[in-house]
A and B are shown apart, each in its own frame.
Chain A
Amino acid sequence: KNEVEQSPQNLTAQEGEFITINCSYSVGISALHWLQQHPGGGIVSLFMLSSGKKKHGRLIATINIQEKHSSLHITASHPRDSAVYICAVAGGSNYKLTFGKGTLLTVNP
């Protein structure tokens, strides 16, 4: 079974700061997802990665398959970025998703 570790668990930043959230997994995967969940809200898919790097607005996601590691970066952070960010990995031969426990990001004005 794949183990998914996220760091940090909690992160507090000032508006405008550059944010990095990390995700490591133990077994080779076919895809990695980054999800966002606002307090009391639903879950939104931010990125799905199988290699390289993706960018959407101020968000950048990278993955290093050899090192079994992914990072989510937020540039010029804003209070509306405050949310829980969740990493999830999909295995190669099955159709299950395994999730990290999430990183709670708080961006203060």
Chain B
Amino acid sequence: EAQVTQNPRYLITVTGKKLTVTCSQNMNHEYMSWYRQDPGLGLRQIYYSMNVEVTDKGDVPEGYKVSRKEKRNFPLILESPSPNQTSLYFCASSLGRGFNQPQHFGDGTRLSIL
């Protein structure tokens, strides 16, 4: 089954403790992206990747890192999480150039930073 898999689905942690949210897709998609969703602000793009070893900042990249060492995986790293990073996070992938292809979303990861 074609899918985008995020882990964990839920995480409660404390300020400053490094964490990684994994994202994996099995559709051989070139484009992958991370978004956060906050009440009243909607979805905002954090980082995106056009292909292996090619990443770039979205609108809200501060406090996040990403890597794209393999085509299928695009982990989101919070080196020193802070409470303002408490949010619902979505990973997505698409064929080719992401902006002119349908996006396939993961089920989301709800992060709470205390």
Contacts and interface: CB of A to CB of B under 8 A. Distances in A.
Identify whether the interface residues of A are mostly helix, strand, loop, or mixed: strand
Contact of A96 (B40, B42, B45, B100): B45
Interface string B27-44: 000010101000011111
Interface residues of A, number: 25
Nearest to A43: B105
Nearest to A40: B108
A39 to B, nearest CB: 12
Task: Give chain B's interface residue range (CB within 8 Å of chain A).
Answer: 20 to 34
A101 B41 contact: yes
A95 B50 contact: yes
B107 A90 contact: no
A3 B81 CA distance: 29
A76 interface: no
A42 interface: yes
A33 B103 contact: yes
A59 interface: no
A94 B92 CA distance: 17
Contact of B107 (A31, A42, A99): A42
Contacts of B105: 35, 42-45
Closest 3 CB pairs of A and B: A90-B99, A101-B42, A43-B105
